[in-house]
Chain A
Amino acid sequence: MAHQVVHTDANDPQNITNPEHAEHRLITPLQYSLVYVALLIFTGATVGAAYVDLGWANPVIALGIATIKGVLVILFFMHVVFQSRLIKMTIAAGFFIFFVLITMTLSDYVSRSWGLW
């Protein structure tokens, strides 16, 4: 359902002329319910997958499903689908800096035991 409804303003379908403003729109209870059911199904799936030995894939699946659930909550429960580009960029910036914290710190830990000069 994403791409057709993302537009925020009849005169500004791409939210370009004023990326800080978006027309106010509601998500219906039916849509909320669908998301809710999807979240419960994903929870069941991730628990089920945890009981099967998939080797290295176990953590990947668990975190993948968690990411999908997180994105669902952000997009629909938190109304980000209908928010302005400003809000979307803000969220992206937050996760980007979080990513910087993780990867740049890891760059130390990963290579600490490599050959010393």
Chain B
Amino acid sequence: MDNAITSTGMTTDPTLYPPYTPAVHEEHEHAVLPQHRHHFETEEQQREAGSFGMWLFLLTEIMFFGGMFFAYLLYRNWYYEAFVVASNQLSVPLGAVNTAILITSGFCMALGVWAAEVRQKGLLVVMLLLTTFFGFIFLGVKADEYHEKYEKHHIPGASFSTAMFVNPAAYGLKEDPLSPDMAQKTQIFFFLYFAMTGMHALHMIIGIGILAWLTLRAHRGDFTSGYVAPIENFGLYWHFVDIVWIFLFPLLYLINRHPLK
């Protein structure tokens, strides 16, 4: 081993340390752009660091929702009958429409990232606005569903009522009545429903707040001169929120339609 402090032996093999290779410098000659932070060697390094950091944050989100997913799995197995009838109180058409709306919103976001990459300012702003628009529609439908639960006294807490599950015939439902004890357990389903969709909606509201700010900056032209990282990383967040819903939809709305006897 060469012990001189500034041995050049290590730098002659560029493939070993690509963030520092001359090739990268030549490709991206904008190392002096204002968004470039001083402690990164190259903008490529900065961009990859940002995206990696965002992914790590999303891992924490997976684990955050993971606790609730496990609670759902556990209680669905314990209180199967209650979960079946409670789940049937949710509207599949509304859920399906909302899924499509959210996927559309995600699609617009993906196109927005592309627009920023190819430096089309107008398209980027339009796409961000569309993303926001579909986000609001989703939340609107969700609010409507929440309101319906409120009217039916299906919000857990003091005003929660199991009448509909103990005596379904009186409400025009075809399901078999539950014992009062099991009917109490529908409250756990509704709590998990509100906790999971509520936490999901909270993420969307935060996301829409960030979107508004990003749209303003995009309109100023901040993201269409080669600095795409904020749009790209926000896109990751938005798609993650989509994925959570993609799993919530079947778990809460679909898988309990045909109970095993």
Residues of A whose CB lies within 8 Å of any CB of B are 11-12, 17-18, 20-22, 24, 26-29, 32-33, 35-36, 39-40, 43-44, 46-47, 50-51, 53-56, 58-59, 62-63, 65-66, 69-70, 73-74, 76-79, 83-84, 86-87, 90-91, 93-95, 97-98, 101-102, 105-106, 109
- Residues on B with C-beta less than 8 A from A35 are 107
B contacts, CB < 8 Å to A: 15-19, 44, 47-48, 51-52, 55-56, 58-59, 62-63, 66-67, 69-70, 73-74, 77, 92, 96, 99-100, 103-104, 106-107, 109-111, 114, 117-118, 232, 235-236, 239-240, 242-243, 246-247, 249-251, 253-255, 257-258, 260
Closest 3 pairs (CB-CB, A-B): A62-B250, A94-B59, A59-B255
Shortest CB distance A104–B (Å): 10
Q: Which residues does chain B contribute within 8 Å of A79, judged by CB atoms? A: 232
Q: Distance in Å from the Cβ of B50 to the closest Cβ of chain A?
A: 12
Contact status of A62 and B55, CB under 8 A, knowing A84-B48, A94-B63, A98-B63:
no
The 8 Å CB contact of B59, one of A28, A65, A93, A105, is A93
Q: Binding site of B, secondary structure by majority: helix, strand, loop or mixed?
A: helix
Closest A residue to B67 using CB positions: A101
Separation of A24 and B15 alpha carbons in the complex (Å): 17
Structural contact, B106 and A62, CB atoms closer than 8 A: no
Q: Is A94 a contact of B58 with CB atoms below 8 Å?
A: yes
Q: What are 10 inter-chain pairs, A to B, with CB distance below 8 A?
A: A29-B114, A32-B107, A33-B107, A36-B107, A40-B100, A50-B253, A53-B258, A87-B55, A97-B59, A101-B67
Interface centre among A27, A44, A65, A73 (most CB of B within 10 A): A73
Q: How far is the CA of A2 from the CA of B212 in the complex (A)?
A: 35
Query: Given A43-B103, A62-B254, A94-B62, do A29 and B74 touch, yes or no (CB 8 Å)?
Result: no
Q: How far is the CA of A94 from the CA of B64 in the complex (A)?
A: 11
Identity of the chain A residue whose Cβ is nearest the Cβ of B69 in the assembled complex = A102
Interface centre among B51, B69, B111, B255 (most CB of A within 10 A): B255
Inter-subunit contact B48/A98 (CB<8 Å): no
Which residues of the other chain, B, contact A83 by a CB distance below 8 angstroms? 51
- In contact, B246 and A77 (Cβ under 8 angstroms): no
Distance between Cα atoms of A62 and B92 in the complex (Å): 13
